[in-house]
Amino acid sequence: MDEKPILSIVVPVYNEEENVRLLFEKIRVVCETMGETYEVIFVDDGSRDGTFTVLSELSKQFIQLVVIRFEKNAGQTAAMAAGFEFARGQRIVSMDGDLQNDPNDIPKLLGRLDEGYDLVCGWRKERQDKFLTRRVPSIVANWIIGKVTGVPIHDNGCSLKAYRASVIKQVPLYGEMHRFIPAMSTVVGARIAEIVVTHHPRRFGQSKYGLGRIWRVALDIVAFKFIVSVFAPLSRTQKPSPWQRLSNVLFKPTQRIFRAAALFSFPFFVLGRVLFGSTKIAALSCFGLAIILLVLGWVTENKIRRAKQELTELDTLARFFIFRYNRRPIRFFGPIGVLLFVLGGILSIAPLYSFFFKVFNIAEIPNLSPVLITSGILVFCFGLFGELIAFANAQRVKDYTVEIFLNMNK
């Protein structure tokens, strides 16, 4: 298949052995009807069932089928990113591999794309999933994502989307950010449209996500906001407003991070004053924190600059923030920071404080709760800066994942 296909369909699959053959057939029928040259890229995300066997058999029969195989499960985002990277078409469509999305919607999506959009999102208006555990959290999440990112899409989680290849290939995807593609693509100035698509209940296999996703999506929203506040004004394709232009001249990205750091330290002063009861200690702790945050901001800024200079190797710190455990990217600003903060908050209530020490039968530690709160916020900030590093390295995160796991059968 030397000729460049016009349309690339990207399908990440993890343990979908009963679905892939049926899905490929459906996609094939739709594409043949449209009369376009096309390729279907199945990204086998380290399936442990017969998915890869079925795909290899199919690929012997059909030249349009491309299979990318990860040796280990690296997650849906990595699988989609690898598919986008290898796609040869000028237009790309992504969809789930579990037959919940309907290939018959592809021509509609492409029609919208050809009207001049860079990204057309599917909206599963009549979603065929459990109401309480799936649809309600999704409605709430989409509303919040719309408010926070300023991109009011009804259904960010719908994988059925069409993209202009030149645009989606620029969008940095890392972690589990495939759920934030619409918002992320505004960073490169994408024009976005939305259409209602069909959705079917899952017939074979199981959903790969549980309720744990709610927590991770919540953290992703925070991360996204932070990333965009630092990176968005830097985007080249987006036309900056006069105010943004002025602020770009006045404040370099470094200074923006520093300003944020300084802002962070003010609440610490108030907090220190209230909790320690002494202005001197409060001022000291605030000063110390500002210094730590400034150093963090400085380190991050350097890492971002180096990432942009196209270094080939990921350095240790970047690797640290991209670290995955069991397909989930580890969130350094998440659980530990929040836990410390909440624990400190609870302990700051006096009767609880004594109760805590009585229960554990230990001598009281002075100022434990402010120390916990402070370290909680610090851990949180540390992770947020790491998130910036991960984002700046996203292009390489992709290479990093793919290089290690990739194995193509063609």
Interface ranges with Mg ion (CB under 5 A): 96, 98, 100
Question: Does 327 contact ligand UDP by CB under 6 A?
Answer: yes
Task: Closer to ligand UDP by CB, 205 or 370: give it.
Answer: 205
Question: What are 13's strand-pairing partners?
Answer: 44
390: exposed, middle or buried (Cβ count in 10 Å: 0-12, 13-18, 19+):
buried
Q: Give the span between the Cα atoms of 254 and 251, in whole angstroms.
A: 8
Task: Closer to Mg ion by CB, 129 or 399: give it.
Answer: 129
What's the min distance (Å) between Cβ of 202 and Mg ion?
6
Phi/psi for 10 (5° steps) reads: -110, 125
Using CB under 6 A, pick the residue from 83, 97, 337, 386 that binds ligand UDP. Answer: 97
HSE-up (13 A, CA, CB side) for residue 211: 5
Using CB under 6 A, pick the residue from 8, 64, 100, 369 that binds ligand UDP. Answer: 100
Task: Closer to ligand UDP by CB, 168 or 378: give it.
Answer: 168
Task: Closer to ligand UDP by CB, 76 or 285: give it.
Answer: 76
Residue 79 contact, options Mg ion, ligand UDP, none, Cβ 5-8 Å cut-off depending on partner type:
ligand UDP
Q: Give the span between the Cα atoms of 128 and 134, in whole angstroms.
A: 10
What's the min distance (Å) between Cβ of 200 and Mg ion?
9
Q: How far is CA 278 from the centre of its chain?
A: 42
What's the min distance (Å) between Cβ of 96 and ligand UDP?
4
Question: Does 208 contact ligand UDP by CB under 6 A?
Answer: yes
Stretch that binds ligand UDP, among 53-61, 92-100, 189-197, 388-396 (CB under 6 A): 92-100
What's the min distance (Å) between Cβ of 104 and ligand UDP?
18
Q: Give the span between the Cα atoms of 308 and 54, in whole angstroms.
A: 40
Question: Does 76 contact ligand UDP by CB under 6 A?
Answer: yes
- From the list 169, 230, 157, 229, the residue with the least C-alpha distance to 194 is 157
What's the min distance (Å) between Cβ of 205 and Mg ion?
9
> Is the CB of residue 352 less than 8 Å from the CB of residue 346?
yes
- Give SS3 for 192: strand
Q: Are strands 7-13 and 38-45 parallel, antiparallel or unpaired?
A: parallel
> Is the CB of residue 142 less than 8 Å from the CB of residue 157?
yes
- Give SS3 for 121: strand
- Helix 368-392, helix 212-231: angle, nearest 10: 70
Q: Give the span between the Cα atoms of 329 and 326, in whole angstroms.
A: 8
What's the min distance (Å) between Cβ of 41 and ligand UDP?
12
Question: Does 79 contact ligand UDP by CB under 6 A?
Answer: yes
What's the min distance (Å) between Cβ of 348 and ligand UDP?
39
Residue 5 contact, options Mg ion, ligand UDP, none, Cβ 5-8 Å cut-off depending on partner type:
none
Question: Does 220 contact ligand UDP by CB under 6 A?
Answer: no
Stretch that binds ligand UDP, among 7-15, 58-66, 164-172, 191-199 (CB under 6 A): 7-15
Using CB under 6 A, pick the residue from 7, 9, 10, 13 that binds ligand UDP. Answer: 13
Question: Does 133 contact ligand UDP by CB under 6 A?
Answer: no
Residue 14 contact, options Mg ion, ligand UDP, none, Cβ 5-8 Å cut-off depending on partner type:
ligand UDP
Q: What is the dihedral angle through the alpha carbons of 70, 400, 176, 320, rounded to the nearest 10 degrees?
A: 130
Q: Give the span between the Cα atoms of 131 and 382, in whole angstroms.
A: 37
Q: Give the span between the Cα atoms of 113 and 150, in whole angstroms.
A: 21
Planar angle of CA 146, 148, 149, nearest 5 degrees: 70
Q: Give the span between the Cα atoms of 95 and 43, in whole angstroms.
A: 11
Q: Give the span between the Cα atoms of 261 and 296, in whole angstroms.
A: 9
Using CB under 6 A, pick the residue from 36, 108, 146, 209 that binds ligand UDP. Answer: 209
Q: Are strands 65-70 and 406-408 parallel, antiparallel or unpaired?
A: antiparallel
Q: Give the span between the Cα atoms of 297 and 263, in whole angstroms.
A: 13
What's the min distance (Å) between Cβ of 162 and ligand UDP?
17
Using CB under 6 A, pick the residue from 73, 156, 186, 285 that binds ligand UDP. Answer: 73
Contact map string, positions 375 to 404, toward ligand UDP, x by CB under 6 A:
------------------------------
Stretch that binds ligand UDP, among 190-198, 202-210, 272-280, 343-351 (CB under 6 A): 202-210
Using CB under 6 A, pick the residue from 98, 105, 301, 387 that binds ligand UDP. Answer: 98
- Contacts with ligand UDP by CB under 6 A lie at 12-14, 16, 45, 73, 75-76, 79, 96-98, 100, 207-209, 327
